[in-house]
Amino acid sequence: MNLSEFGRRVAHLRKLKGWTQYDLARAMDMSVSQIRNWEGGRKGIRPKRLLRLYEVLGVTPAQFWDMNLSQKELPLNKSPVESVPEVNERQRAVRCPRCKSIGNNAPDEGLLYCYHCGYPMYNICTGEEKHVNSPIARYCERCAARTVWSMTEDELAEIGIPPYEADERSTDSNE
């Protein structure tokens, strides 16, 4: 591994996320000096930690190593939510992002989870405080934890969100 090239890529992706070295260190649960050492090309990274770095930065290994360093925005991995759902002014999905049930007709406008399939109606993070994030966020802007709209069904099951089981109910129903 070319340490200088690795460091430039870490710094570039960190800046594209709008993060400081401190933000990345916090997300990685490590010291700022280690981030500085990486970005300065002075130290390498262990394979297990490299996998975590890809996850925190929201890129695949191929995106990390193949991206053009003049790129002005983060490459986005395809999310289980196939497209960004329509949201209201409070960032709540108008329809469930997973089963497409109508969410605005729910009696509780602050409803956190879909009545039909249990999927979050907000792109909340998996951190303890369940921060609400923008619909396209893969990681929480406050605590850097993964957001649920970026997770696969298996990952959702691991954090207690039930699997989606289609039923015979019409998704366009207002019931």
pLDDT digits (tens, 9 = 90+) for 145-164: 888 888 888 888 888 887 87
Domain count, the chain: 2
Torsion of the alpha carbons at 14, 19, 20 and 23, rounded to the nearest 10: -100
Q: Do 25 and 107 belong to one domain?
A: no
Q: Do 57 and 89 belong to one domain?
A: no
Strands (E), the chain: 123-124, 132-133
Q: Do 13 and 92 belong to one domain?
A: no
| Residue 73 covered by a domain | no
pLDDT at 36: 96
Q: Do 87 and 152 belong to one domain?
A: yes
Q: Do 49 and 122 belong to one domain?
A: no
> Are 117 and 162 within 8 A, CB to CB?
yes
pLDDT tens-digit readout, 93-145:
888 888 877 654 544 566 778 877 888 889 998 888 888 888 877 777 777 78
What is the distance between the alpha carbons of residues 142 and 54, in angstroms, rounded to a whole number?
Answer: 19
Q: Do 96 and 59 belong to one domain?
A: no
The DSSP letter of residue 12 is H
Q: Do 59 and 84 belong to one domain?
A: no
| Residue 92 covered by a domain | yes
Question: What is the extent of the structural domain holding 54?
Answer: 3-66
- What are residue 102's DSSP bridge partners? 95
pLDDT band for position 83 (cuts 50, 70, 90): low
- Which residue blocks in 1-139 are alpha helix, DSSP H? 3-16, 21-28, 32-39, 47-57, 61-66
pLDDT tens-digit readout, 8-64:
999 998 988 888 999 899 989 999 999 999 999 999 998 889 988 988 888 878 778
| Phi, psi dihedrals of residue 95, rounded to the nearest 5° | -120, 155
124 dihedral zone (left: phi>0; alpha: psi -120 to 50; beta): beta
